[in-house]
Amino acid sequence: MRAFTILLILCLCAPALADQKVYKTVGPNGEVTFSDKPSPGAKEMDVPPAPSYKAPPLPVLPQSPSDTLQNQTQQTTSRYQLVSIVAPANDQTVVNTAGKVQVTVLIQPPLKAGRGDEVRIRLDGKVVKTGNSPNVTLDNVNRGTHTVSAAVVDRDGNTLIESSSNTFHLHRPSIHLPGRKKPNP
């Protein structure tokens, strides 16, 4: 009986917890205070739901017995069949205050680094990274719209295969917005 009573109370309180209100009070010296309890002179704030992000699906490559045999044959040859930018997705908005952008490249068959092949990443047409990893972090990218592409090059720098370009938009929120409190050093 006691467990039923507690469960009933929790069920009745759940809607109240989900419908919390936020109140904003501005003090005489301009200090802003937010609270979940109303006070004299407080204004009720409209708080939107928290933002969420759903990652785009990764490309699915079909695998059948004939595909597996074909992949084994291709891996013994020196030709790459596919190079594609998986992240950032085309027309994706990336939010990062430090200007870091994670780039993921899909290479089929996998990169033959032992042979000296490397991945070359271009940002806005300029080579910014070269290495043997298909996962790269670009640092200090300026806010705005950019293009990114990848190419597999051999040890002599000859392009073996190149991806198409993906366009992405980098949003770098600033702490210098009006009304925003600066962090303490």
Contact 109, 71 (CB under 8 A): yes
CATH class of segment(s) 78-171: mainly beta
Where is 92: in which H helix or E strand?
Answer: strand 92-95
For residue range 69-83, what is the model confidence (pLDDT) as tens digits? 555 544 444 588 888
Instruction: Express as a percent the part of the chain with pLDDT over 70.
Output: 73
At residue 110, what are phi and psi to the nearest 5 degrees?
-55, 155
Q: What pLDDT, on the 0 to 100 scale, is given for residue 48? A: 78
* pTM for this entry: 0.51
